[in-house]
Structures are given as C-alpha cells and as structure tokens.
Chains A and B, each alone.
Chain A
Amino acid sequence: MGITFRKETFRDDFTFKNSPEHIRRFPFPFHEDAYMYAVNIEPHVVGPKGSVLENLIDVDEHYVAEMQDRALVLAEDPLRCQSLPHMTLAGWDLLELLMEQQALGYPEHFTLTRDGDRWRWINRPLGIDDTFTFGDTSTLPYGPMEYITRQSQGDFCILDQRDGNLWMDAGMVTTQADWSLDFDIGMNFFEWHAPVPLAHEKGIFTRALKFLTNIQQGKPARRLNWTMTINPRLDTSPENYHKWGPDRTTVTPENVGDKVHLRVELQSFWRLPRSNGIVFPIRCYLIKMDELVTQPKWARRLHRVIRDLPEELATYKGLTRYRPTLVEWLSKLDDGSATSPGFGPD
C-alpha cells in the first residue's frame, strides 16, 4: 500500500490540506503549555509507526505537490539553489543519503540499484528512471545536490566543517521561514544566526556549534522549530516578501481557522562520509488552525503558548500583527483544563 499523493497548491488558490491521518501525525512542537528556546537536540532515531519519524527521511501525501512548487520557485529564481565549487563531493554524499533513505522507507515508490559506481534510480511518483555514474556530474541533468533535492521534500543546507566552525556553502532552499540562502551563502554558523534574538545571550549557539561539529557518522540528531504562516505558502522567502508579507494584514476573526497555519520544521543533522561536511535538512510541515483544533489538547496548549510568548519572540516570528486575533479565537477552545504531558494528541 503506497501513499496517495494529493493534487494541491501552495500559492494562488491555496488548495493545500491535510488528510485526517496526516493531522494526527503532525509534529506538534510543544510538549508543555509554554515555549522558550532550549538546545532541544536529540538523537534522530526511528520513531513510532504512523508518525513523521517512522522513517528518518519522511515522504508524505504532499510530496508531488511540494516538488512541483519547488520547480516553480527555481524557474523564477535559480539562486535558491547554490553550491560553492568545493561542495560537489558533499552533493554526492547527499544524493546517496537521500536515495538510500527514500528507497529504504518507501520501496513501492523509490528503487535504487547499484552496480559499482553505475547507479539506477527509479522515482515512480515523479516518473523518473535514470541511470548514471556515481561521482561523474556529467551523467546527471543537474549537479548531484540539485538533482536529488528536486526530488526530496524539505530544504537542505550543506555545511562545510573547517576551522572549528560550520560554513553555509551549499543548499537548496525554497520552503523557508523568511531567510535567504543567497544572502547567507558562505557565512559561518554565528554569522547566519546573528538575527536571532535572546539565544546568543544564553550561549545557545556556542553550545549548539560544539554539538554539531561533533556529530558522528551513523548518529544523526534532530530538533523541532516552529513559526506561523498566513495561507499555506511554502515559499515565504525574503525575496518574495512583497507577495506574502501583506497576507499578515488579512487575518480576521472569521478567517483565522482557514488562513493561519502553524509551521513546524523538523531539522536533522547528518555527518556526510566522503566530504566530512554536515547536511541539515529542514523539513516544513504546515497545518491550518481548523485542522489543528480537531485535537482538543493541541487547541488548549497552542492558546496558552501563543498568549504567553515573550514579545521579542513574537516579533521575530512575525506574529505581532495578528496575535491578538488568533489568541482571541483560540481562547474560545480553551476551557482551562489541564493538558496531558508530551507532544501527541490525546
């Protein structure tokens, strides 16, 4: 039994929706009724069946539509995908990782066959069947990173490790929460995190860098991050701010449930074997308020989190303008009763 891929859009008429099964598997990011930064990193190991952690690289019902949206973004702005010249080997590392993981998790949809460096890759949902020579860029229609990330959900940053730091030297970034690869390319870990409030003072980035530079092969790690997005738009980039920024002014008490989306990023970190780089997949999950509040525990908890969020964080996440409307709407679904511990729905 395979996945039934939805036909839907992340722009214009915004027909994106989650099926009831996908609502229940949504990676709700709050384990308690409040939120503050923490170095919330844990080993990226396989989780329960039916969760987004069932496979280490998750493919879901939005796969085909997300890949179509990525192709549209790249056609308008090729700089969303960049790889500095020394990062090609890391691109091959990533191609191997994503082909292996997708074929392992979803054999009905993806098949990888290897005969030495002669590889055959079949991607049935996208109608691809390519044979190529691993390590020889001339045998693929794109560079190795671009080739495989046009066929993999989520953004991907490849970080070069040198001089005790990590450098954003390659990436495919089309589903981002208001940051730009073209701006950050070549920056180190502290430089690209400079705009984040409060966390520097808490020493979070120094500790996080120490952890990340010690990530070992075969031992990936993960964390969740979150923000909110108006309309189910994947491409909320600074380059296209003029298209999505004004959406924030359109939230009314009547349309909150349909327009306001919780946007959760499942970020994972993997050591790449040949290049000794780190790949940082940022997988974006969207859920509209009407879908989220079908789980009463999540409705109560989200109300308390958004209501009590420190002002700096609300500003950084871009919630300021519609936060009162959202809190008012959510408050009607919060009877004040206790919420059970943990992330999952009751």
Chain B
Amino acid sequence: MSTGTTKLDVVVSDVVPVNELVTRFHFRRRDGELLPTFSGGAHVVVEMRDGERTRLNPYSLMGSPLDTREYTISVRRDDVGRGGSLFMHRSVKPGLEMVISYPVNLFSLDLRAKKHLMLAGGIGITPFMAQTAQLAGEGGNFELHYTCRTASLGTYADVLRERYNRRIRLYHDDRDERIDLDRLLSTQPLGTHLYVCGPAGMINWVRDRAAALGWPSEAVHFEHFAAPQPGLPFDVTLAVSGKTIRVDEQQSLLEAIEAAGVDPPYLCRGGVCGQCETNVISYDGKFIHNDHWLSEEDHRSGCKIMPCVSRFEGRSLVLER
C-alpha cells in the first residue's frame, strides 16, 4: 500500500518579501476550516503547476504549531536551480489556489531532551522557527545558534532575537564571526540533544565534530533536503509499467515517472525518507547519486536509485517501476 500523504486544498493568503532572497508565503484552507495540527520540524510538499510542468517541493512549516489558522513557509530564491523557487517568487500571488500535502515530520524534536541545542545555517532556520515556538509554549529549554552571510540576509534573526533574546546567538560571515563549535559541544549539560539544519557542509562539520567529541548519534539530529539538481536529459525504461520516458534537464526522475502516469510512494522528495527507493534492473552508464538515504555500498552496487534527487548519464537505464 502506498504511503503518500493526504492533500489539502489551500489558497495563498499572503506573500511577504523578507529580504532580497527570501519570500514568505501564507496558506489558508479554501473551505475556511482550521488546518491540521503539526509538530515543530514538519514540512509540507507544495504542488506547483507551472504550465505543462508540475513540480513538488518540500518546505518546512515555520509558523507556530499552536496556530493552525494558516501555514507559513519561506522560500529562498535559487537562480540556478530547476525553477521551483523562481516559480514561487514570480508566479505565486495572494488569492492563488494551490494544493499542499498534510504535514510530515522527519526532523522531530526528541522530547526526552533536558536541553535542545539548535544550529541553523541560512535558510535552514525555517524548521527552528516552529520548533522554538513549540518549545517556548511548553517552557522548554533551548538555545539557537544561527549563522548567516550578512545581517541583511539573516532571515528572521530580528524576530527570533525579539522573541527569545539571549537564547539566540547570531554569527555573520561578513564579519568573520564563527561558531566556536568544539567549545559549544564540549560544554553542554548531560541530556542535551543537538539539531542541525543548513547547507550540507555545515551538517557534515557538526556531525563529525559531535562524533569526535563523544556525542551519541541518537542525540544528534539533522535535516538536509537535497534539492533535485538539473542535469543532462536521459531516457529510462520502466519495466513494470512497460513505458519508456525521457527525463528533461530541469525535471527530476521522480517527476518524469509521475508525468508518465506512474505513482511511486514518496514523502520528502529530498533524498532522506527512503519511500521512493527504486530497484535498477539493468544499466549502461553512470549514476549521479544525490540522496542521503542509500548507503555508499548501495550507491556503488548500481542496484538502487532514489529517483527524487538522483540522475543518470549513459546509454540505457531500466528500472523496476
């Protein structure tokens, strides 16, 4: 049985530019009812109907889980990506009717924690907006360290400082401010859980240092949705459904499979949840694996691919779909 999510019919209730790169979108239900309750760290998948093309991108919910009149997401414009964020910035206006998924949480707080230590980089701040609101409402103990390129690109830094004051520490790249990570990780009380969301380099750095300093892996949580990367077009044969499809430069393999009328299960569309894992029957060429789900051994084996983020270059690829 497929484990996709239920859909929600929403209308864009507001579009707010936050700074030169980031815009915030507000959604309400079309029927006027409340939206489903969610937990801090949850995301929704937004369906973007852009002419002939449908893109589905995940975005963290950043409002307070205590307020279900509307959902809010923040989208960073990516001028060299596949066009999802550009579509959001250019074409999504108040009043537009859209479809989003029910919330899914793959970056949940561990509620056993005595303290929640959060590290955010850039647009990786968004899940922490909801998590801090949830914890503040329950009197939870948290501390957030937030690195951004410049003060003007420190999305929501002002809001967070105003809400939580000294619990928020800011670091600006242009002022050469750096998190003293080893010191930070070495001076936490027992029972602290660590959460990191940001660019891949930052996540790897934090995970490596935490492991080196003896943090148990169960206490280190991270979320990194890989955005599907554009690439050369390639052809794929879907053996189960008997179809041959072409994946365009700006399209993900998963989107191309869906456009052919085949619906594999999915949750995150970012290479982390494992739902769309697909067996490779045969291939002649090389894989470009971009996921965080399969092991290195799986990547080397040529037997599996995550079609949401990974691509292929070569003469032929046959998948069990």
Chain A: minimal CB distance from B158 (Å): 28
Q: For chain A, residues 158 to 203, give those with C-beta under 8 angstroms from any C-beta of chain B.
A: 160-163
Chain B residues with Cβ below 8 Å from A214 are 3, 267, 273, 275
Chain B: minimal CB distance from A93 (Å): 8
Closest to A160 in B: B111
Given contacts A41-B1, A160-B111, A276-B105, contact A219 B6 (CB under 8 A): yes
Chain B residues with Cβ below 8 Å from A273 are 36-39, 103
**Chain A 243-260 interface 0/1 with B at a Cβ cutoff of 8 Å (1 = within):** 000000000000000000
Chain B residues with Cβ below 8 Å from A162 are 108, 110, 218
Q: Does A211 contact B (CB under 8 A)?
A: yes
Cβ-defined contact, B65 with A274, below 8 A: yes
Chain B residues with Cβ below 8 Å from A118 are none
Chain B residues with Cβ below 8 Å from A215 are 3
B-side binding surface: helix, strand, loop or mixed? loop
- Report the tally of A-B residue pairs with Cβ distances under 8 A: 62
Q: Does A86 contact B (CB under 8 A)?
A: yes
Chain A residues with Cβ below 8 Å from B110 are 86, 162
Chain A residues with Cβ below 8 Å from B3 are 211, 214-216, 219
Chain B residues with Cβ below 8 Å from A218 are 5-6, 36, 102
Chain B residues with Cβ below 8 Å from A217 are 5-6, 36, 38, 102-104
Q: For chain A, residues 81 to 121, give those with C-beta under 8 angstroms from any C-beta of chain B.
A: 85-87, 89
Cβ-defined contact, A274 with B6, below 8 A: no
Q: For chain A, residues 56 to 98, give those with C-beta under 8 angstroms from any C-beta of chain B.
A: 85-87, 89
**Chain B 98-132 interface 0/1 with A at a Cβ cutoff of 8 Å (1 = within):** 00001111001111100000000000000000000
Chain B residues with Cβ below 8 Å from A274 are 37-39, 65, 134
Interface residues, chain B, CB within 8 Å of chain A?
1, 3-6, 36-39, 41-42, 65, 102-105, 108-112, 134, 138, 218, 267, 273, 275
Sorted from nearest, which 8 A-B pairs have the closest CB atoms?
A: A273-B37, A86-B111, A276-B108, A218-B6, A86-B112, A276-B39, A214-B3, A276-B105
Q: List 7 A-B contacts (CB under 8 A).
A: A43-B1, A87-B111, A216-B5, A216-B104, A217-B104, A273-B38, A276-B39
Interface residues, chain A, CB within 8 Å of chain B?
41-43, 85-87, 89, 160-163, 211, 214-219, 273-276
Q: Assuming A217-B102, A218-B6, what are 7 further A-B pairs, CB within 8 angstroms?
A: A41-B1, A86-B111, A216-B102, A218-B5, A274-B65, A276-B42, A276-B105
